[in-house]
Amino acid sequence: MARKDGPLVISVINMKGGVGKSTISALLARHGAIRRNLDVLAIDLDPQANLSQALMHNSYGQFLTDQRASIVEVFNGYLPPSPSSSGPSPLGPDDAVEGIFEWEDRSLDLIPARFDFSDNLTNAIRPDAKALARFIAANFKDKDLIIIDCAPTESILTHAAYHASRLLLVPVKPEYFATIGFPLLAQSLTNFRRQNRGHKIEVAGIVINNGFYHGGNNGGPEKTQAMADIRADAAKNNWHMFKHEIPFSRGFPKKMRGDFSYSGNSDMFSYFANEFFKSIGM
């Protein structure tokens, strides 16, 4: 169901780990394909490969064993010699893409990461920060939505995500040090915009994750203070805050492992997802 303007590309980012970037990337990608009828591509830009594991579950092990192409080959720009090829070969549009889900006219695909991703990129030659944007531009015109899960530290990969993205989604956990990554993100965005003047990149919004136990503990004074800090910093940067929070739920880690037997409050994710998709016009 290709969009007239091509896919909307959005990176899930925060210069802080453990805030739910990978969880939210996986859930939004699934929600987009399954509930919103969208053709979705998810891209794992974190060498820890949490998004890949969350979408591929048990088949991620086989993917590693088979040494199938991944985000590493996207940055390299070719497939290495293998038993079936006598030298390097061109990277085709379907190489490095794993099918996760397909139904009628929509699908969810993934460009997975590998644990050696960071070694591979920091070796000798500096990787090309525009390689990912180029690969997307050449091969994924027909997708509706592309979701990129970012690593927490600023690196060449952050710039690769920026080059490919129109929007950023920033998950935050309302606890002490919640806003520690905000000045880093604001500064890094300012620098990127200065160096890439033709590129419109914006923060779609901040989403509060893992902040309260629905029906029980509301987070207490710690959360109240953190929320005040987050609101103040969001206002300072002119960043929107989504109204619906994502609650704490043991259902989230379970779903990431591929166990859908218990959802609990994780079903409340759809309140945020609906608000998010409405805000991006999908």
Ligand X SMILES: Nc1ncnc2c1ncn2[C@@H]1O[C@H](COP(=O)(O)OP(=O)(O)O)[C@@H](O)[C@H]1O
Residues 41-80 binding ligand X (CB under 6 A) are: 50
Answer yes or no whether residue 158 interacts with ligand X by CB under 6 A: no
Encoded one letter per residue, x for contact with ligand X by CB under 6 A and - for no contact, window 174-213 reads -----------------------------------xx---
Of 44, 50, 152, 26, the closest CA to residue 101 belongs to: 26
Per DSSP, 46 falls in state -
CA torsion sign, 133 to 139 to 142 to 144?
Answer: negative
Answer yes or no whether residue 18 interacts with ligand X by CB under 6 A: yes
CB of 18 to Mg ion, least distance (A): 8
* Contact of 249 with 265, CB cutoff 8 Å: yes
Of 130, 122, 120, 132, the closest CA to residue 45 belongs to: 132
7, 10, 11, 22: which one binds Mg ion (CB under 5 A): 22
Answer yes or no whether residue 21 interacts with Mg ion by CB under 5 A: yes
CB of 20 to Mg ion, least distance (A): 8
CB of 266 to ligand X, least distance (A): 7
Answer yes or no whether residue 20 interacts with ligand X by CB under 6 A: yes
Q: Which is nearer to ligand X, 22 or 76 (CB)?
A: 22
Q: Which stretch binds Mg ion (CB under 5 A): 49-57, 124-132, 182-190, 264-272?
A: 49-57
Distance CA 266, CA 253 (A): 9
Residue 261: Cβ within 10 Å count: 7
Residue carrying structure tokens 């920060």? 129
7, 15, 33, 50: which one binds Mg ion (CB under 5 A): 50
Helix (H) / strand (E) containing 246: none
Answer yes or no whether residue 252 interacts with ligand X by CB under 6 A: yes
Q: Letter for the amino acid at 230? A: I
Distance CA 273, CA 32 (A): 9
The binding site for Mg ion (CB under 5 A) comprises: 21-22, 50
The binding site for ligand X (CB under 6 A) comprises: 17-23, 50, 209-210, 246, 248-249, 252-253, 256
